Structure 1
């Protein structure tokens, strides 16, 4: 159960600042769908706009990292942070951007391996090799 009320489209229409962000979400994504994350965040219009603008600045423009890889990174970080909602939503986004079952399987294997080795190195408190220092 959500800890924040999820604003309906009728409620959003009555809050110009929220409506403007929702309109931009729809236009940017070329979809009428606005997911529950944004509906919950809409209770705070300032945060809604700030987070949406940050997401747009990182995830939307063409950059050195292609859109599918960005989504796969988001899945990995969301898994590490234990955010089931984000794992699901960004897996759907990655699939929409062409992620195959084979890529997803490999991604999950990498996430699992990284989690395991991260925990082992942390438990053993292994010192960093000087060769890995950024100079």
Structure 2
């Protein structure tokens, strides 16, 4: 199976950096986890995936903790 290399912030182009900056600001984190660094090899997929996750994690019927628990459970099962 082919493997990808992570795209680190210092090596990222402007489109990837913009998404990374939005992830860090929205989630209140200092670094991007490896999930995002690997899909950043295809910037349109990174942007589309982040926009979907950002919308799903926005305030709604479920609180953020429940959404995070579902996210982790689904990720672990795949």
Decide: shared fold, TM above 0.5.
yes
Inter-partner Cα distance in structure 1 for 2:72 and 2:25: 24
Q: Which structure is larger by alpha-carbon Rg, 1 or 2?
A: 1
2:23 is matched with 25
Aligned-residue offset at 1:29:
1.4
Question: Which structure's residues are more often helix, by fraction?
Answer: 1
Q: Deviations over 1:10-31 (max 9, x none)?
A: 211xx11101101111111122
Q: Can you give the 5+ residue segments of structure 2 that lack an aligned partner in the other structure? A: none
Inter-partner Cα distance in structure 2 for 1:71 and 1:80: 14
Q: 1:78 to 1:38 in 2, by over 3 A?
A: closer
Q: 1:79 to 1:18 in 2, by over 3 A?
A: closer
1:42 is matched with 40
TM superposition score normalised by structure 1: 0.52
- Aligned length, in residue pairs: 77
1:63 is matched with 60
2:49 is matched with 51
Q: Specify the SS of the correspondent of 1:76.
A: helix
Q: Deviations over 1:65-121 (max 9, x none)?
A: 11111122223323433xxxxxxxxxxxxxxxxxxxxxxxxxxxxxxxxxxxxxxxx
Larger RCO (CA within 8 A; separation ≥ 6): 2
Contact 2:40 2:46 in 1 (8 A): yes
